[in-house]
């Protein structure tokens, strides 16, 4: 998942390529997107985040013992927002 991609010689590109190859055969439409990161935009976001004007949406918090249930909910697609596992 997330952290594994940087170790490969093509980064996370292989995931995008596989998705594009599968796209004609599945219900989902796959497109690539490359973000342009500009310092001005990042500075503006920082100005919103620091005073708490932008906060993440947390769907639910699970204790570590219930991590399998949290992952099941994610897999079922019934989650809107972030799922937090507490230790």
Query: What pTM did the predictor assign?
Result: 0.45
Token pair listed for 42: 């990042």
pLDDT above 70 covers a percentage of the chain that reads 82
Closest CA to 74 of 63, 86, 59: 59
Structural element, H or E, at residue 21? helix 13-22
pLDDT tens readout for residues 31-45? 667 788 899 999 999
Confidence of residue 2 (pLDDT cuts 50, 70, 90): very low
Q: How far is the C-alpha of 42 from the C-alpha of 47, rounded, in Å?
A: 9
Name the nearest CA neighbour of 86 among 57, 63, 59: 63
């Amino acid at each position: 998942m997330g952290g594994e991609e940087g170790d490969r010689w093509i980064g996370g590109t292989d995931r995008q390529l596989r998705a594009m190859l599968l796209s004609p055969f599945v219900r989902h439409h796959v497109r690539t997107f490359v973000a342009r990161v500009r310092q001005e935009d990042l500075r503006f976001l920082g100005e919103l985040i620091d005073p708490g004007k932008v906060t993440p949406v947390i769907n639910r918090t699970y204790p570590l013992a219930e991590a399998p249930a949290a992952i099941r909910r994610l897999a079922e697609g019934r989650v809107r927002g972030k799922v937090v596992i507490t230790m």
